[in-house]
Amino acid sequence: MRSQELGKNTSKVELQGLSPHGIWILVRGEEFFLDFKRFPWFRKATIEEISQVKLLNPDHLYWPQLDVDLELDSLINPEKYPLVFHA
């Protein structure tokens, strides 16, 4: 007897974890850590607000409840994006 093949993974981006230092997200199978020092918008956000992340196109992450936009390249190549938000 053979097991059925697993279905296609429809989630392209999802929250993987949360710590006092930042969040982990999974984007198309690749995991990224968003440190609260570099990404302060997520520090006081609720789990629900953070988990509502959307991949609007292959290069653009968006958190509608937080009105936060990030280019995926800024996570892949942070050295190309030296500017850091300061309140």
pLDDT tens digits, 9-22: 456 899 999 999 99
Q: Are 39 and 29 in contact (CB under 8 A)?
A: no
pTM above 0.85, yes or no: no
Q: In what order do the strands lie in the sheet with 68-71?
A: 54-57, 60-63, 68-71
Q: Which domains does the chain have, with CATH numbers?
A: 13-80 (3.30.2020)
How many Cα atoms are found within 13 Å in the side-chain-facing hemisphere of 9? Answer: 8
- 31 touches 3 (CB < 8 A): no
Render pLDDT for 51-84 as a digit per residue (tens, 0 to 9).
999 999 889 999 999 999 999 999 999 888 887 6
Cα 82 off chain centre by: 19
